[in-house]
Structure 1
Amino acid sequence: MRFSVTLDRDEDGVWVVECPSIPGCVSQGQTKQEALENIKDAIAACLQVRAERGMPLTVETYQVEVVA
């Protein structure tokens, strides 16, 4: 399965990656690559837990660009 993720750097320089279509699915890493590798494990774990609990695996999300 393919998932879109967001990747941001926090105030401590750690890369935080989140999968918006799976609520609560967040990971991090010292580098972008490490964070992206870590989110793969987080996604697998989140999907497994959601399936075990009978929850929808994903929620509908939209990506929209806004100019402010």
Structure 2
Amino acid sequence: MKYRAIVKQRDGWWIGWLLDLPGVNGQEKTRDELLKSLRIGAEDMLTTQVRFEPDAVMTIVEAPNPDWLLSASPA
């Protein structure tokens, strides 16, 4: 499966994160190392079993849109 990643170079490091899997992010010295790290992070997240707890409830949390999103022009 493919996941969208944001990657950029900052102060000699490559940093990045997966948009489709929040919490998967990385920082490495090379772009290739970063992509490998993101791939491993995605694999780890997707193979981690979450134990079912009968008293757990899924819910939705709403937050206001940030100002930059409201002022962004459509593409």
TM over 0.5: yes
After TM superposition, the runs of 4+ consecutive aligned structure 1 residues lying more than 6 A away are none
Unpaired segments ≥5 residues, structure 1: 55-65
TM-score, normalised to structure 1's length? 0.64
Aligned length: 54
Q: Quote the RMSD (CA, aligned, Å).
A: 2.0
For 2:37, the equivalent position in structure 1 comes to: 38
Identical counterparts, % of pairs: 22
For 1:52, the equivalent position in structure 2 comes to: 50
CA contact (8 A) 1:29 1:35 kept: yes
Mapped partners of 2:41, 2:27: distance in 1 = 10
Superposition pairs of residues 10-25 of structure 1, within 5 angstroms = 10=10, 12-25=11-24
Mapped partners of 2:51, 2:8: distance in 1 = 30
Mapped partners of 2:51, 2:15: distance in 1 = 26
Residue 48 of structure 1 and its aligned partner are, at CA, apart by 2.3
TM-score, normalised to structure 2's length? 0.59
Mapped partners of 1:15, 1:53: distance in 2 = 34
Unpaired segments ≥5 residues, structure 2: 53-72
Residue 53 of structure 1 and its aligned partner are, at CA, apart by 4.9
Q: Partner letter of residue 13 of structure 1?
A: G
Matched, 1:7 2:7: yes
